[in-house]
């Protein structure tokens, strides 16, 4: 079936019931139908039929306002593949502004020359760390206050993890090595900003009985795709998949965004989110562990809505004696991170982030746990300094090490 026909069917599948509207963060902060899934489907349908009532710039703005969080797909009774429809409008019909302008030029350079080069990424990290005292005020002076808040503090030491290294588990299990070894993807931004979370991941996987091989793959292309750089994303994705296929091991990622993208493009390569691997573990070291504290868990959209992996981290964390795990009433709503969305569409991202922060603040719980680097940065930027934002694997490591501090 041609893409046009498939798309026409998808558009027709929308019965205009509006059940997706309350799930949509951009509708919730604007109350504008054109900023809702149903409204965007109407707009795309008009483009396909060449009957657009709005001018092209306005249509592009409404489409670019979409966070690609896919909360609308989860609640849709008609199973409309909104992601496919939006992707077609952005990629094939070129209804996106994401890759135009000076900022987009810088972004293109970043995706083309830096994101796939681990040495340059480490250099960038070093620069960011030592120049942030200068960059932050400069950004604020140029009116980029929201973006300045998103700049990571990078206060944890960076410890290089070498590609192709294997970290062996010392848990004694009656299983051959080849059944226990898994391939861990370092990714790009995750290793640059949250290298400490990678070390926590290796530690926790080892504690659960897995040997961890570090994949030689670099960036998977998910961020580039999310930012409308489709050609660069395709190249990154191909390089990534070739490397991983040659390694012939099941791949695990601790970043929900990368996992969602890779599951879609890898053609059954065997990609797992960390929690899916931990759930399969032949051994559970959390039994008998006690850890007193309370946390709020925020499900990352790309784990929850895109990968359909829901409730598992909460269940595993809640199995720890003494640990109280809570979720927000609006737990299925995006925090406004969405790749580089919060840098490009900072007005909308600010409003969505503020809604999430409001809810968190009302709960009176000071530790927020979420499994995606983008969500971690976005949520932290919208909370007061006394809030702690952690990846669940960091919390798991603290439980395993009987470190009773959540801070």
Q: Of the candidates 67, 115, 182, 355, which one interacts with ligand SF4 according to CB under 6 A?
A: 67
Tokens representing residue 205 in the block: 């996987």
Helix (H) or strand (E) holding 379: helix 373-381
Which range of residues in 70-78, 142-150, 270-278, 378-386 is near ligand SF4 by CB under 6 A?
Answer: 70-78
* 349 is a contact residue toward ligand SF4 (CB under 6 A): no
What is the chain's percent helix, strand, coil content, to nearest 5? Answer: 50, 10, 40
- Which residues, including other chains, have CB under 8 Å from residue 281's CB and lie 6 or more apart? 208, 209, 210
Could you tell me the smallest distance in angstroms from the CB atom of residue 39 to ligand SF4? Answer: 8
Quick one: which of 389, 393, 329, 319 has its CA closest to 355? 329
Residue closer to ligand SF4, measured from CB, 23 or 274: 23
Q: Any idea what DSSP says for residue 22? A: G
Could you tell me the smallest distance in angstroms from the CB atom of residue 19 to ligand SF4? Answer: 4
Could you tell me the smallest distance in angstroms from the CB atom of residue 94 to ligand SF4? Answer: 19
User: Interaction with ligand SF4 in 249-308: which residues (CB under 6 A)?
Assistant: none
Could you tell me the smallest distance in angstroms from the CB atom of residue 32 to ligand SF4? Answer: 12
Residue closer to ligand SF4, measured from CB, 80 or 251: 80
Which x/- pattern over 16-55 shows residues binding ligand SF4 (rule: CB under 6 A)? xxxxx--xxxx----------xx-xx--------------
What letters, b where the CB count within 10 A reaches 16 and e where it falls short, cover 320-356?
A: beebebeebebbbbbbbbbbbbbbbbbebbbebbebb
Rounded Cα distance, 60 and 43, in Å? 10
Q: Of the candidates 80, 197, 223, 317, which one interacts with ligand SF4 according to CB under 6 A?
A: 80
* 68 is a contact residue toward ligand SF4 (CB under 6 A): yes
Q: Any idea what DSSP says for residue 110? A: I
Rounded Cα distance, 110 and 344, in Å? 15
Q: Of the candidates 29, 34, 72, 328, which one interacts with ligand SF4 according to CB under 6 A?
A: 72
Could you tell me the smallest distance in angstroms from the CB atom of residue 407 to ligand SF4? Answer: 33
Could you tell me the smallest distance in angstroms from the CB atom of residue 332 to ligand SF4? Answer: 10
Residue closer to ligand SF4, measured from CB, 12 or 156: 12
User: Interaction with ligand SF4 in 81-140: which residues (CB under 6 A)?
Assistant: 82
Rounded Cα distance, 335 and 357, in Å? 8
Could you tell me the smallest distance in angstroms from the CB atom of residue 26 to ligand SF4? Answer: 5
How many residues can be counted in the chain?
A: 407
Which x/- pattern over 187-216 shows residues binding ligand SF4 (rule: CB under 6 A)? ------------------------------
Residue with tokens 């296929």: 245
* 15 is a contact residue toward ligand SF4 (CB under 6 A): yes
Q: Of the candidates 11, 47, 60, 71, which one interacts with ligand SF4 according to CB under 6 A?
A: 71
Rounded Cα distance, 214 and 329, in Å? 38
**DSSP three-state, residue 282:** coil
Residue closer to ligand SF4, measured from CB, 23 or 369: 23
Could you tell me the smallest distance in angstroms from the CB atom of residue 352 to ligand SF4? Answer: 9
Could you tell me the smallest distance in angstroms from the CB atom of residue 40 to ligand SF4? Answer: 6
CA 282 to each of CA 174, 183, 211, 301, 393: distance values in angstroms, whole numbers, following the listed order: 10, 17, 12, 28, 18
Q: How many residues bind to ligand SF4 according to rule CB under 6 A?
A: 27
Q: Decide: 166 and 204 in contact? Cβ < 8 Å.
A: no
Q: In this structure, what are the phi and psi dihedrals at residue 188, rounded to the nearest 5 degrees?
A: -120, -75
Which range of residues in 78-86, 233-241, 257-265, 312-320 is near ligand SF4 by CB under 6 A?
Answer: 78-86
**DSSP three-state, residue 280:** coil
Could you tell me the smallest distance in angstroms from the CB atom of residue 152 to ligand SF4? Answer: 24
Could you tell me the smallest distance in angstroms from the CB atom of residue 72 to ligand SF4? Answer: 3
Farthest-apart Cα atoms in the chain, separation: 67
Which x/- pattern over 316-345 shows residues binding ligand SF4 (rule: CB under 6 A)? ------------------x-----------
Q: Of the candidates 11, 14, 219, 223, which one interacts with ligand SF4 according to CB under 6 A?
A: 14
Rounded Cα distance, 311 and 206, in Å? 23
Rounded Cα distance, 134 and 198, in Å? 28
Residue with tokens 């998808």: 10
Interface residue list for ligand SF4 (CB under 6 A)? 14-20, 23-26, 37-38, 40-41, 66-72, 76, 78, 80, 82, 334
């Amino acid at each position: 079936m041609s893409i046009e026909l498939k798309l026409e069917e998808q558009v027709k599948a929308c019965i205009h019931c509006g059940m997706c509207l309350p799930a949509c963060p951009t509708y919730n902060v604007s109350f504008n139908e054109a900023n809702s899934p149903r409204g965007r489907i109407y707009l795309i349908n008009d483009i396909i039929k060449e009957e657009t009532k709005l001018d092209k710039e306005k249509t592009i703005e409404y489409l670019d306002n979409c966070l690609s969080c896919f909360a609308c797909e989860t609640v849709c009774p008609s199973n409309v593949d909104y992601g496919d429809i939006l992707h077609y409008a952005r990629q094939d019909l070129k209804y996106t502004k994401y890759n135009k302008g000076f900022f987009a030029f810088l972004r293109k350079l970043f995706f083309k020359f830096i994101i796939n080069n681990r040495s340059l990424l480490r250099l960038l990290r070093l620069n960011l760390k030592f120049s942030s005292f200068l960059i932050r005020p400069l950004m604020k002076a140029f009116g980029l206050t929201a973006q300045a808040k998103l700049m990571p503090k990078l206060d944890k030491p960076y410890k290089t993890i070498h590609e192709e290294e294997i970290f062996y588990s010392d848990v004694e299990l009656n299983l051959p090595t080849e059944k226990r070894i898994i391939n861990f993807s370092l990714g790009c931004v995750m290793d640059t900003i949250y290298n400490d979370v990678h070390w926590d991941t290796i530690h926790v996987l080892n504690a659960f009985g897995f040997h961890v091989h570090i994949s030689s793959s670099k960036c998977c292309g998910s961020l580039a795709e999310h930012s409308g750089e489709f050609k660069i994303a395709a190249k990154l994705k191909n390089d990534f998949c070739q490397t991983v296929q040659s390694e012939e091991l099941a791949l695990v990622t601790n970043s929900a965004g990368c996992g969602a993208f890779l599951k879609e493009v890898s053609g059954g390569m065997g990609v797992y989110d960390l929690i899916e691997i931990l759930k399969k573990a032949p051994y559970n070291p959390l039994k008998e562990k006690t850890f007193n504290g309370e946390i709020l868990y925020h499900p990352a959209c790309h784990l929850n809505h895109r990968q359909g992996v829901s409730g598992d981290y909460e269940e595993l964390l809640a199995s720890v004696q003494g640990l109280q795990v809570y979720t927000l009433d609006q737990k299925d709503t995006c925090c406004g991170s969405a790749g580089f969305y919060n840098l490009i569409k900072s007005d909308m991202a600010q409003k969505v982030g503020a809604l999430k922060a409001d809810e968190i603040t009302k709960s009176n719980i000071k530790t927020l746990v979420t499994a995606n680097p983008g969500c971690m940065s976005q949520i932290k930027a919208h909370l007061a300094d006394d809030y702690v934002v952690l990846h669940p694997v960091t919390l798991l490591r603290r439980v395993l090490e009987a470190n009773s501090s959540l801070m």
